[in-house]
Amino acid sequence: MLWLHRRMFGDVWTWAGKQRQRATNIGVEFHLITTQSQLLLDDAKHWHAQSVFEPDELAAKIHSRLASIHPFPNGNGR
């Protein structure tokens, strides 16, 4: 996930691909980012493999959960 973020936004943001290292008013505690992100990715793999959701709903669920984790130092989930 960090690699992909860096590839997508590395030319735009210096912090692209770097995990948040401080507390914010949104998102999980920063020391839980890795664990919560891995749980999300594991869930997403299962949902995809088992066709639990249609593709657009799957994308929305992944995005929503990732935004609630708030893994990056800046940004607002867009």
Domain membership of residue 74 (yes or no) is: no
Q: How far apart are CA 51 and CA 62, in angstroms?
A: 14
Domain membership of residue 77 (yes or no) is: no
**Structure tokens, 71:** 């893994």
Domain membership of residue 46 (yes or no) is: yes
Domain membership of residue 75 (yes or no) is: no
| pLDDT tens digits for range 23-50 | 988 899 999 999 999 999 999 999 999 9
Domain membership of residue 40 (yes or no) is: yes
**Region 53-61: what's the mean pLDDT?**
98
Domain span including residue 15: 2-69
Domain count, the chain: 1
Domain membership of residue 13 (yes or no) is: yes
State the pTM of this model.
0.86
Q: Are 45 and 1 in contact (CB under 8 A)?
A: no
